Amino acid sequence: MKYTVNEQGYYGDFGGAYIPEMLYPNIEELRQQYLSIINDTAFKAEFDALLKDYVGRPSPLYLAKRLSEKYGANIYLKREDLNHTGSHKINNAIGQILLAQRLGKKRIIAETGAGQHGVATATVCALKGIECVVYMGEIDMERQAPNVARMKMLGAKVVPATSGSKTLKDATNEAMRDWINNPVDTHYIIGSVVGPYPYPEMVAKFQSIISLETKKQLLEQTGKELPDYALACVGGGSNAMGMFYHFLDDESVKLVAVEAAGKGVDSGHSAATSVLGREGVLHGSRTILMQTDDGQVVEPYSISAGLDYPGIGPQHAHLHKVKRAEYVSITDDEALNAGLLLSQLEGIIPAIESAHAFAYLEKMTFKPTDNVVICLSGRGDKDLDTYIKHFGY
Amino acid sequence: MIFLTMNRELTTMNRLNQLFNTKNKNLLSVYFTAGYPELNSTVSIAEALEKAGVDFLEIGFPYSDPVADGPTIQHSSQVALDNGMNLNLLFEQLAELRSKVSIPVLLMGYVNPMVQYGVERFCQKAAEVGVDGVIVPDLPMYEYEMLYKDVFAKHGISNIFLVTPQTSEDRIRKIDGLSNSFVYLLSSASITGKALQLNNEVDTYFGRIKAMQLKNPTVVGFGIGDNAAFTKACEYNNGAIVGSAFVKYLGSRKDYLEGINDFVKGLRG
């Protein structure tokens, strides 16, 4: 596959492992072992069994009839919102906890923004009886208090990141510092397709179950395994990578990645990395990131905490550069309206992250025969307060 | 062209190499963050350190997301950025510094600001203002060799690599081969600002490295904050670098220039 990673961990110009020497043994251990571990028959069997019986996979592929009528195409929703813990994040967390066990690790650390990845990680740690520490920006802990409580109830320790802007990027820095200080017994479960190689590839593989199932389900429902379009929202980009993964080499499938424009791409309050970012190095990989002329990382903005990240994964940076996928953006208001529309047309309240992907349907033109798949990456329960405040219910 | 490049490398490398040639024991280097505690304190701190008998300087260029650093240096970086420090200004300060200070100067910082500035432009400018080497913790060997080695060599800037207690012997040999000034030994595998534990493990680690008889001198950093740690490091190595302890000192009093001499004396014992 020409869009996948090379032996040195690069996707075209992007990727690699820009890590301090202190992390080299950890990353090297992962690089040398993760493929043989995840390709092992016993690993696969346990992974598949947990996805089926614990997560509830395969997640349905649902033909949204009223939405399809509105937009004049056949629109299929990949229901990651129905997974245990309410989003696609659990797919990766299950994969990585099984990997950590096989690496003999006794302690898990993770970073989280909105708390979805933190909850997924706390969940799998409870499942396996492994100590769990989640780093979360002090400001995010206030904004997402219910998820903090969920993590604590699941037995995790939540540590506030008080440096820098006190949000997701700082939580990621703190997790990396923890890993530097605890190199032997600890595994770091990164929640998106970001970080030093092999993380972007590993997380993408665990999330690729999304497109693997989609292909099979489309074939059953339509007689064709390839859609005309695949859409997903992008923060770091893990649900999008999962949705694109098995379609990358099928160039007839148009891939659309939807970023958060926040209050507008040019408003100074945005997370539209592909427009506002430039090439550089963030959290261990060469990618596109939002930064000042002097190379300082800029704090992004989006109403959805899950898309509020100053970079995108290196594979996304590559797909953007070689134009294999189209990167577009949607404002807060457009996303909230799309969330309301989906609620009232289909009876599904989506996470505001996922609502960004739905909002882009407004801007597309379809042929009536087009098959469109959208990754409904998470459910909206966690966002009810935001929806309520906006619409005044 | 090749002759010119090599010649330039030799002349600019002289300050660090000369130092190691004339003095190979108890070398003391001190780290501070440019633009901290005040935007324009860089030159006066450097002068005071030279006067106090420090052998070479390590000056940090601040970054918003310094993952290898503990709270003290993170804080100094944030204050420096808030003060308005950036690479253009730093190079201006360094040009002035070079007219007043003659000991070797190393820059320490993260790769993204260098990439934005342009790595070639960075090396050219650094050479111009009399910088002798750089330490970039998040620029690993593979990426350095593949992308930047030639650029560094062209401008005679030495790239200094870190070695931790977990670094394998093969890798240490490779690092030694790629280095042309000294190898930076981390006292432990941790972020900056965690005090060195004076125990048998440290002796074993330092002893193991010494027995490898590297072609480059070794200097210890991270966790060196007092005379006991400095002495222990120098027992096995050519010198040591003090960072967080000095940055903490700078933040502790308004007349920070006045006490620098005593601070350095305290380290030397």
Identity of the residue numbered A16: G
pLDDT tens across A335-377, in order?
Answer: 999 999 999 999 999 999 999 999 999 999 999 999 999 999 9
The complex scores an ipTM of: 0.93
Topology classification of domain A58-87+208-391: Rossmann fold (3.40.50)
Smallest Cα distance from B179 to chain A, Å: 15
Q: Which two tokens stand for residue B185?
A: 């030994």
Please enumerate in sequence order all residues whose Cβ is within 8 A of that of A349, keeping only pairs 6 or more positions apart, or say none.
A339, A342, A343, A379, A380, A381, A384, A387
* Of the candidate ranges A9-23, A95-109, A112-126, B10-24, the one whose mean pLDDT is the lowest: B10-24
Mean pLDDT, chain A, integer = 96
Average pLDDT over residues B221-248: 96
pLDDT band for position B4 (cuts 50, 70, 90): very low
Q: In this prediction, what percent of chain A has a pLDDT beyond 70?
A: 100
Cα of B18 to nearest chain A Cα, Å = 27
Is A284 touching B (CB cutoff 8 A)? yes
E strand segments, A164-228? 186-189
Helices (H) and strands (E) in chain A, counts: 16, 14
Are B67 and A18 an interchain contact pair (Cβ–Cβ within 8 Å)? Answer: no
Is A133 in the B-facing interface, judged by CB distances under 8 Å?
no
In DSSP notation, A22-41 reads GGHHHHHHHHHHHHHHHTSH
pLDDT at residue B65, rounded to an integer: 93
- Fill in the DSSP letter of residue A307: G
Determine the pLDDT at residue B6.
Answer: 46
Query: Does the predicted TM-score (pTM) go above 0.90?
Result: yes
Does B162 lie at the interface with A, CB-CB under 8 angstroms? yes
Task: Give the architecture-level CATH label for domain A18-50+88-203.
Answer: 3-Layer(aba) Sandwich (3.40)
pLDDT of residue B2 exceeding 70: no
pLDDT, tens digit, 9 for 90 and up, residues B67-94: 999 999 999 999 999 999 999 999 999 9
- Least confident piece of the model among A163-172, A240-249, A291-300: A163-172
Question: How many A×B Cβ pairs under 8 Å?
Answer: 110
Examine the pLDDT at B9 and tell me if it is beyond 70. no
Contact criterion met (CB < 8 Å) for A295 and B68? no
Q: How far apart are CA A235 and CA A205, in angstroms?
A: 18
Within 8 A of B146 by CB-CB distance, chain A residues are 8
The tens digit of pLDDT for each residue in A186-240 reads 999 999 999 999 999 999 999 999 999 999 999 999 999 999 999 999 999 999 9
Best of A18, A170, A185 to disrupt the B interface by mutation (most B CBs within 10 Å)? A18
pLDDT band at B173 (very low <50, low <70, confident <90, very high): very high
- Give the pLDDT of residue A257: 98
- Per-residue pLDDT at B200: 86
Q: What's the pLDDT score for residue B7?
A: 43
**pLDDT tens digits, B124-134:** 999 999 999 99
Cβ contact (<8 Å) for A8 and B142? yes
**Of the candidates B68, B78, B116, which has its C-beta nearest A20's C-beta?**
B68
Q: Please report which helix (H) or strand (E) contains residue B265, including its range.
A: helix B260-268
B177 touches A at CB < 8 Å: no
Q: What is the pLDDT of residues A280-305, one digit of tens each?
A: 999 999 999 999 999 999 999 999 98
How far does chain A reach from its first CA to its final CA, in angstroms? Answer: 49
Q: What average pLDDT does this structure show over A379-391?
A: 94
B176 among known catalytic residues: no
| Catalytic, out of B9, B50, B58, B132 | B58
Same fold, A18-50+88-203 and A58-87+208-391: yes
Fold (CATH) for B2-9+24-268: TIM Barrel (3.20.20)
> Per-domain residue ranges for chain A?
18-50+88-203, 58-87+208-391
- What dihedral do alpha carbons B87, B91, B94, B99 form, nearest 10°? -170
Residue of B nearest to A15 (CA): B143
Looking at the predicted structure, is the pLDDT value of residue A34 above 80? yes
Q: Is the pLDDT at B10 greater than 60, yes or no?
A: no
pLDDT at B11 over 60: no
Contact B200, B232 (CB under 8 A): no
A293 in contact with chain B, both atoms CB, cutoff 8 A: yes
Paired with A373 in beta bridges are: A76, A230
pLDDT at residue B12 greater than cutoff 70: no
Query: In this structure, what token pair is assigned to residue B84?
Result: 């308005």
B115, B166, B171: residue with CB nearest A281? B115
Q: Active-site residues of A: which are they?
A: 89, 111, 377
Judge whether B13 and B156 are in contact, CB under 8 Å.
Answer: yes
CA dist A82 to A85, A350, B244, B259, Å?
8, 11, 49, 63
Return all residues near B193 (Cβ < 8 A) that are at least 6 apart.
B69, B70, B71, B72, B73, B222, B223, B243, B244
Q: What is the mean pLDDT of residues A108-114?
A: 94
CA–CA gap between residue B155 and residue B125 (Å, rounded)? 9
Please name the member of B111, B113, B191 whose beta carbon is closest to the beta carbon of A18.
B111
Helices A116-128 and A145-153: crossing angle in degrees, nearest 10, is: 10
